[in-house]
Amino acid sequence: MTSFTQTIIEIIKQIPAGKVMTYGQIAKLAGSPRGARQVVRILHSMSKKYQLPWHRVVNAKGQIAIKDEATHQEQVLNLEAEGIEIGMHDTIDLKAYQWNPEMKKQ
């Protein structure tokens, strides 16, 4: 496993319940600002093995990006169970719910 992949896994594991991060935000924090698609790949292939809270990762618009209906609904239900309000077009208010670990370190 590459150090980038390991860093992505560690970042995702740290997202607290009731908060979300974007694919691009995670990639940038891991040192690859243009690596959002790699974050998607890692989530898809490693979420079960590493018990990642995959449902806490959304696209840059705050939208649930998963197209598969069953998985999409699972993500909505998981987020709502954590107190996250899902708006129209399955959009999450990033100002209210986005977790920013860079700010937490200050």
* Predicted confidence band of residue 29 (pLDDT cuts 50, 70, 90): very high
**Topology of the domain comprising 3-101:** Arc Repressor Mutant, subunit A (1.10.10)
Is residue 39 exposed (0-12), middle (13-18) or buried (19+ Cβ within 10 Å)?
A: buried
What's the pLDDT score for residue 1? 77
What's the pLDDT score for residue 98? 97
Where exactly are the structural domains of the chain?
3-101
Interval 42-92: pLDDT, tens: 999 999 999 999 999 999 999 999 889 999 999 999 999 999 999 998 999
Please check the confidence at residue 105 and state whether its pLDDT lies above 60. Answer: no
Phi–psi pair at 66, nearest 5 degrees: -70, 130
pTM of this structure: 0.90
